[in-house]
Amino acid sequence: MAPEKIIISRTDNLGDVMLTLPVAGVLKKQFPSCKIYFIGKSYTKALIETCIHVDEFIDREQVVSHQYLKEINADVILHIFPDKAVAKAASQAGVQMRVGTSHRWFHWLYCNKHVNFSRKKSDLHEAQLNLKLLQPLGITQNFSLQELASYTGFQKVPSLPEKLKALLQPAKFNLILHPKSKGSAREWPMENYFQLAQMLSPERYSIYITGTEKEGELVKQQKPGIFSLPHVTDLTGKCTLEELIAFIAQANGLLACSTGPLHIAAALGKHALGIYPPMRPIHPGRWAPLGKNAVVLVDQKNCEDCRKDFNCHCIRAIEVVQVAQVIEGWN
């Protein structure tokens, strides 16, 4: 009997959530009439609500602090990201099928279906690994990354406020640089972003620096001169996530390290360039963006010498001219 209500739980960060959205797309194809709920952190709500395959967003704190799951009366919950508090709440709510990886001890307490696989040692992409949790539902198909990109369903794009729309230059290539990652990824040096902005002609490019307010402060500390360039606009701390999604949707391309906005741009079909280290488990084989116009640059070497040092030699090895060549090929 097909499940009527399925909950996907992924309570970590933006990029992780983006690579989980294809799970919702695959479920909708297999069970067209099912209602899909998605548990996430509150700040990921705008991201999840952009997906056409998700029927309702659920705030993680609402799950942990209230009996909300019991009211939903779901048939299935998929713990894509192990979260002890959510797993306990789903068990207490009596969700009939509770699926989790066998590698977390608390899943043996709170889940009744266990899937045995290791993310850390796998050669599969994160989006492919997420689909392993669908095995108890009889979904065992192996999907290519190209196929999974078509299942993201990132289509309910918010409208862009006029104040931000007015910043875009229709006669130029509107390029977003998102240099920071809240420390979640190896970052290309700010000096390189500055040199890149200098290299890209103001007659052809309009450049926008995005990020949180704190990230903007870091950019100003590390390379204040970038905001004095005539074709560079500072958008750090000036966009909500909803506004950022809308702005990316109307821009032409984006450059970032392995972080949420890169995956957003890729899912929207924008030109998206990611700069990655070759180090497992943070290499592009695991975390590359999904999208027909998404590409990555990665140094081809065995990256172990800077595993414990965020001053990553492999990231620094990606030259400004390499990045500029990719971007100029878009325009």
pLDDT in tens, 37-64: 999 999 999 999 999 999 999 999 999 8
What tokens does 134 get?
Answer: 């669908």
The residue whose two tokens read 């995956």 is 263
End-to-end CA distance of the chain: give it in Å, rounded. 51
d(CA 211, CA 238): 8
Give pLDDT, residue 278: 87
Q: Which of 167, 193, 173, 179 is nearest to 247 (CA)?
A: 167
The residue whose two tokens read 């390499």 is 322
pTM of the predicted protein model: 0.96
pLDDT in tens, 115-174: 998 888 888 999 999 999 999 999 999 999 999 999 999 999 999 999 999 999 999 999
Please tell me whether residue 18 adopts helix, strand or coil conformation.
helix
pLDDT mean over 279-308: 84
Kindly indicate the confidence band of residue 305, based on its pLDDT and cuts at 50, 70 and 90: low
pLDDT in tens, 238-269: 999 999 999 999 999 999 999 999 999 999 99
Give pLDDT, residue 315: 84
Residues 127, 159: contact at Cβ < 8 Å? no
Give pLDDT, residue 183: 78
Kindly indicate the confidence band of residue 304, based on its pLDDT and cuts at 50, 70 and 90: low
Give pLDDT, residue 314: 81
Give pLDDT, residue 184: 79
Helix locations, the chain, DSSP H: 14-18, 21-30, 45-49, 60-65, 68-72, 84-92, 105-110, 126-130, 145-149, 162-165, 190-199, 213-222, 241-250, 260-267, 284-287, 313-316, 320-330
- Which domains are present in the chain? 5-149 (3.40.50.2000), 171-330 (3.40.50.2000)
Count of beta carbons in the 10 Å neighbourhood of residue 262: 33
Give pLDDT, residue 331: 82
For a pLDDT cut of 70, what percent of the chain falls above it?
96
Classify residue 32 as exposed, middle or buried by CB count within 10 Å of its CB (0-12, 13-18, 19+). exposed
- Asked whether the CA dihedral 91, 43, 179, 294 is positive or negative, the reply is positive
Of the listed ranges 73-77, 253-257, 310-314, the one predicted with least confidence: 310-314
Give pLDDT, residue 320: 97
Give pLDDT, residue 1: 81
